Amino acid sequence: MLDSGDELLQDFLVEAGELLDALGEQLMELEQSPDDKDLLNALFRSFHTVKGGAGFLGLTPLVEVCHRTEDVFNGLRQGTLALDGLLMDTILVAVDTVTAMFDALRAGETLAPADPALLKQLEDAQRPADAPPAQPPAAAPPPPAAPLPEPAIAPAAGDEITDDEFEALLDQLQGATPAAAGSAAPPPAPEAAPPAPQPAAQAGAAKKPAPAPRATASPAGKGPPADTTLRVDTSRLDALMNLVGELVLVRNRLVTLRVRGSGEVAEQAVSSLDMITSELQEAVMKLRMQPIRKVFGRFPRVARDVARSLGKEVELHLEGEETELDKNLVEVLADPLVHLVRNAVDHGVESPEERAAAGKPRAGQVLLSAAQEGNAIVIAIEDDGKGMDPEVLRRKAVEKELYSADAAQRLTDTEAWDLIFHAGFSTRAQVSDVSGRGVGMDVVRTAITRLNGAISIDSKVGSGTRLEIRLPLTLAIFPTLLVTVAERRYALPLASVRELLELDDCRTRRIEGREVVMVRDETMPLHWLSDWFTPNRPRVEAHHGVVVDLGAGELAALVVDELLGQEDVVIKPLGSVLEGLPGFSGATITGDGNIALILDARSLVARHTGSAPAREAS
């Protein structure tokens, strides 16, 4: 077994892994358009490429399952096989098996052989039922050794090879490799005997096993375009990001000193440093950005599996797959989005019979989209299902004793929809394998909140539901509003700040023992941060308030002693002692060299006011 740190293995895992990431979406597209030749060729090449690399590394179990799956796609693209639901199910099981083998390789584990029943299903699927078992052809003798010419970086004009020639070349390379010689899966016979490729082309193919799917040949007389991408180990990016973060802190410190007064030359130097640091910061941010397609690609498969298990017809549409966000966000978002997509199919979309009775198409529509809005990324999951009835949610809240009957009736529709994020809250009468267990949505909100994001709901009975997630572009450096409370500095993420208030110009009152403030005829809770941070200290006169978004359209006004202004900060972890403390998401060093805690407004308010029952009187 190869060492998991082997450079060749890691290159294979990265390159072939990119092909596997695209399989989910491609297969769902193929199910909708089974005669799409481009898709069939791309899928065939993906398995052919993975098989070739696995054979080169001697990964026989992976070669076997890829080879048989490749044969299926070869039959589909040649028209000897027809794609139906059962065959697609078998192909998806094969994809799951290949993915599991990749996970094992990444973990440094020895590959176990694929399920023999799966291999037989794949083998049986690619030939008629009455056909005798195929006999493996005799292995072709290796070509005689010949002196190689000088290696070429790329084929010269006129040296391009066709897709069939390239596939045959991969098979030759695989068969000529001692590690792959023991593979039980012979390569498929090519449709036509290709002309012998030039040795220089062989050398190039051996180095880079596969072209990108659906790639077109370069125009005659021009070599292939130079690769404009560069793979960089994430640890190096993280180290660079840390250095940029420290540079940003120094920049903030120098800007503060400039404001206090210094020479003209020093001021110019600081201005130049400010500009260069900002440009460097932006450039490094872009290095960490990845298209959200990496996450979105798995959801067509998720929607299909859930819909089939529930007997529903669902079409999932993806928009904004090119939208980029921080690599760390891409990785963390996967699980919450899986749950939201499953819920949209299970809770949102009705059965085909219910939809037909309501005058809707039998197939439900689910839209998963992403877009950049300023310094934020907005991800939306929208369905055209039955929607959420606020009255049903209010009654459920009373049944679960979250609210009294009177308090539940005073909830706005937005507050009623927000109830689904409470732990254990579910409107499903029966527990299913998909959802209805009353768990999950609270975990989703917690995960989004930890990313300094917010999630909101908008729904209409009979028309559908839209859940919207708003996240910062990056987790490393982000803009904040600096404030002081009891002579200490705190930072509020600017993404959660809606507006600033001058309390002298606002009307405040007490309702059932709680302070509220009137802002443009809207009443919202008023919280004095000094009461929470220094409870034994008497209040001092305050004139400033900050309206923050607590999620799901819920706003609150936080009273602070002073507004210091906006500043980009570098978030630092709190450490093991304070990690997970409600109300605080980290710390930073401000421009004057002091430490400021970064506030998490939602968990801070929830911690000091209680959960849902504490809002009954409002």
- Provide block-wise average pLDDT over 10 residues at a time, the chain (618 residues): 65 82 84 87 89 86 90 88 88 90 86 89 71 48 43 42 56 45 40 40 37 38 48 75 79 72 69 78 77 85 89 91 83 86 91 93 94 84 92 90 87 87 67 47 81 84 91 75 90 85 82 83 86 84 83 80 85 72 81 83 80 36
| Nearest Cα to Cα of residue 251 among 611, 590, 596 | 590
Residue 453 sits in the same domain as residue 538 = no
pLDDT tens track for 589-604: 887 778 888 888 887 8
CATH number at residue 265: 1.10.287
Strand-pair category, 555-560 with 522-528: parallel
Residue 218 lies in a domain: no
Residue 563 lies in a domain: yes
Cα separation, 509 vs 413, in Å, equals 24
Residue 400 sits in the same domain as residue 331 = yes
Cα separation, 98 vs 575, in Å, equals 39
CATH number at residue 463: 3.30.565.10
Partnered with residue 376 across adjacent β-strands are 373, 472
Residue 550 lies in a domain: yes
| Nearest Cα to Cα of residue 502 among 547, 540, 544 | 544
**Alpha-carbon distances of 224 from 50, 94, 161, 165, 171, rounded to whole Å:** 22, 33, 12, 17, 22
Residue 42 lies in a domain: yes
Cα separation, 114 vs 117, in Å, equals 9
Residue 36 sits in the same domain as residue 178 = yes
Residue 401 sits in the same domain as residue 518 = no
Cα separation, 302 vs 342, in Å, equals 7
Rounded to 10 degrees, what is the CA torsion of 330, 332, 337, 340?
Answer: -160
Residue 325 sits in the same domain as residue 462 = yes
Residue 286 sits in the same domain as residue 306 = no
Question: How many alpha carbons fall within 13 Å on the CB side of residue 306?
Answer: 29
Cα separation, 213 vs 45, in Å, equals 7
Of 448, 472, 496, which one is at a domain's C-terminal end?
Answer: 472
**What's phi and psi for 520, nearest 5 deg?**
50, 50
Full residue range of the structural domain in which residue 124 is found: 7-130+157-189+196-207
Strand order, beta sheet including 507-511: 497-502, 544-549, 555-560, 522-528, 514-519, 507-511
Cβ-contact 517, 535 below 8 angstroms: no
Cβ-contact 530, 485 below 8 angstroms: yes
Cβ-contact 288, 327 below 8 angstroms: yes
| Nearest Cα to Cα of residue 505 among 495, 492, 519, 487 | 519
Q: Collect all residues with Cβ–Cβ distance below 8 Å to 475 and sequence separation of at least 6.
A: 326, 328, 329, 451, 452, 571
Residue 319 lies in a domain: yes
- The pLDDT score that the predictor gives to residue 350 is 93
CATH number at residue 84: 1.20.120.160
pLDDT tens track for 258-316: 666 656 766 777 777 778 877 787 777 777 788 888 888 888 888 888 998 899 999 99
CB atoms within 10 A of CB 222: 10
* In the block, residue with structure tokens 């572009």: 473
Collapsed DSSP state (helix, strand, coil) of residue 117: helix
Cβ-contact 409, 398 below 8 angstroms: no
| Nearest Cα to Cα of residue 66 among 19, 133, 8 | 19
Q: pTM for the full model?
A: 0.60
Range 44-82 burial, b when 16+ CB lie within 10 A, else e = bbbbbbbbbbbbbbbbbbbbbbbbbbbbbbbbbbeeebe
Residue 107 lies in a domain: yes
Residue 58 sits in the same domain as residue 183 = yes
Of 472, 503, 531, which one is at a domain's C-terminal end?
Answer: 472
Cβ-contact 322, 293 below 8 angstroms: yes
Q: Is 200 left (phi over 0), alpha (psi -120 to 50) or beta?
A: alpha
Residue 489 sits in the same domain as residue 462 = no
Cα separation, 271 vs 255, in Å, equals 8
Residue 415 sits in the same domain as residue 498 = no
Cα separation, 477 vs 153, in Å, equals 41
Cα separation, 397 vs 403, in Å, equals 6
- The pLDDT score that the predictor gives to residue 181 is 36
> Structural domain tally of the chain?
4
Partnered with residue 492 across adjacent β-strands are 481
Cβ-contact 296, 318 below 8 angstroms: yes
- The pLDDT score that the predictor gives to residue 124 is 84
Type of residue found at 288: R
Residue 451 sits in the same domain as residue 396 = yes
Cβ-contact 559, 526 below 8 angstroms: yes
- The pLDDT score that the predictor gives to residue 127 is 63
Residue 399 lies in a domain: yes
CATH number at residue 538: 2.30.30.40
Cα separation, 123 vs 125, in Å, equals 5
Cα separation, 42 vs 146, in Å, equals 34
| Nearest Cα to Cα of residue 375 among 240, 247, 248, 480 | 480
Q: Collect all residues with Cβ–Cβ distance below 8 Å to 133 and sequence separation of at least 6.
A: none
Collapsed DSSP state (helix, strand, coil) of residue 531: helix
Residue 26 sits in the same domain as residue 164 = yes
Residue 25 sits in the same domain as residue 80 = yes
Residue 446 lies in a domain: yes
CB atoms within 10 A of CB 591: 22
